[in-house]
Structure 1
Amino acid sequence: MGEMVDFPSNGQTGSGYLATPASGRGPGVIVIQEWWGLVPHIRDVSDRFALAGFVALAPDLFHGRTTREPDEAGKLLMELQLDRAGRDMLGAARWLASNERTAGDRVGIVGFCMGGALALYAASLSDVFAAVVPFYPYFGVTAAARPDLTKIRGAVLGHFATEDGAYSPDQVSAVERQLRDAGVDVEFVWYQGADHAFFNDARPEVYKPEASQRAWDQTVSFLRKHLAATPAPV
């Protein structure tokens, strides 16, 4: 269903996995990886978005490197250059928004773990994002950059797990309050008994089918609502 494509990235070239619906056209969604890289699970998520009618692009933020080992994944995360990742995400989003297969002038962005925090970060950099969906974001990846989340100009739907040690309820509440005070349309959903990465069906030790399906259904509905008509804000 999908293919690898290249896109401009602020004077350089980025690449990513593009999945297109059977109709050939639909709302655009950027899919941001976990710390494992552009692995089959992220490609599968992109394919699922295509089956739901979206044009999905997952930029390869690790530039060809992937792993299944947590220690190596941690090294890849530490080596990630946030400014380059930002350029890659914005380059992917602008390429997708202007692509003839994409309906609307703006796109959505969905990210998992590391990618959840990066999705919020990217949305603070550009108004090309009409909808933002972070799954159990690891805020540590963007902490040094101190992203100004009040600049987000899209609606936000966050998915959080009660057993996740990557963040505290107080930390999540502070982020939600910051967004709400800035006038952002925001909803954070908690999944009781779920742990970090509960959506990842390639990791049976943490995968929670019921929570995963509920989060998926909410995400698809949210994206359809906010990407139905996406003129750029004035």
Structure 2
Amino acid sequence: MSETPRSTGAPAHQNVTFPSAGTTAHGYLALPPSGRGPGVIVIQEWWGLTDHIADVADRLAAEGFVALAPDLYGGNVAHDSDEALRMMQDLPVSRGVELLSGAVDHLLALDAVTSDSVGSVGFCMGGGFVLYQAAVDPRVSAAVPFYGVIRGELPDFSGLKAEVLGPV
């Protein structure tokens, strides 16, 4: 696997660190006005953890959720679609799912989270990861992929516990 090149795009939108997959992960955490609520994971598009994804987390927080958007690219944000494609291809699906499991661990360990499972929402690459994560992690109780991109083999959905809301 090649090393992901440092992006020429804007820096990732980050405000929290947590242990995940044997490393220190970064992400964006948004709290609801009450300071407490059910947890939701917001999974980035192929561009990285952009201001748009942070805004989605903020909007979910405004509706009462504790929203965590993990940074799957370690601080890199793509500048153009060629770079975004390269960065997405350099992230193996299994590694992304492993990083997301650490994000679920972190979110559920927060005192602010009132639920014992999480929802997951994602866009494009993140929509695919919503499905991969829900297929393997029973702590994901609701999965909402927006135009999810499935790379490689389809996940094994035989153990799926989550409610899935998506296009028909």
What is the aligned partner in structure 2 of residue 70 from structure 1?
81
**Residue range with higher mean Cα deviation, 10-19 or 116-125:** 10-19
Find the aligned partners of 2:145 and 2:29 in 1 and give their Cα distance.
Answer: 20
Asked if structure 2 preserves the Cα contact closer than 8 Å seen for 1:107 and 1:129, the reply is: yes
Return the offset for 1:151: 1.6
**What is the correspondence of 1:219-234 to structure 2 with a 5 Å cutoff?**
none
**How many angstroms does 1:128 deviate by?**
0.7
Counterpart in the other structure of 1:218: none
Equivalent pair of 2:15/2:29 in contact (CA under 8 Å): yes
TM-score with structure 1 length normalisation?
Answer: 0.64
Aligned residues: 156
Q: Give the number of the structure whose alpha-carbon radius of gyration is greater.
A: 1
Correspondence for 1:200 = none
Q: Is the 8 A contact 1:111 1:118 kept in 2?
A: yes
2:48 is the counterpart of 1:23: no
Amino acid at match of 2:128: A
Which one of the candidate residues 141, 151, 165 is aligned to 2:159?
A: 151
Alignment of 1:171-182 (within 5 A): none
TM-score, structure 2 normalization: 0.88
Q: CA deviation at 1:48?
A: 0.3
Residue in structure 1 matched with residue 95 of structure 2 by the alignment? 84
2:123 to 87, 101, 112: 112
Whichever structure has more helix as a proportion of its residues is 1
Partners of 2:75 and 2:14 in 1: how far apart?
14
Q: Single out whichever of 79-88 and 105-114 deviates more from structure 2.
A: 79-88
Calculate percent identity across the aligned residue pairs.
48
Structure 1 consecutive aligned stretches of length 4 or more whose deviation exceeds 4 Å: none
Separation in 2, partners of 1:149, 1:69: 33
Bigger relative contact order (CA 8 A; separation at least 6): 2
| Structure 1 stretches lacking a partner, 5+ long | 161-187, 189-234
Residue 150 of structure 1 deviates from its aligned partner by: 2.2
Q: Are the counterparts in 1 of residues 14 and 26 from structure 2 also a CA contact under 8 Å? A: no
Q: 1:44 to 1:128 in 2, by over 3 A?
A: same
Structure 1 residues 1-234: aligned runs within 5 Å = 4-139=15-150, 141=151, 143-144=152-153, 146-158=154-166, 160=167, 188=168
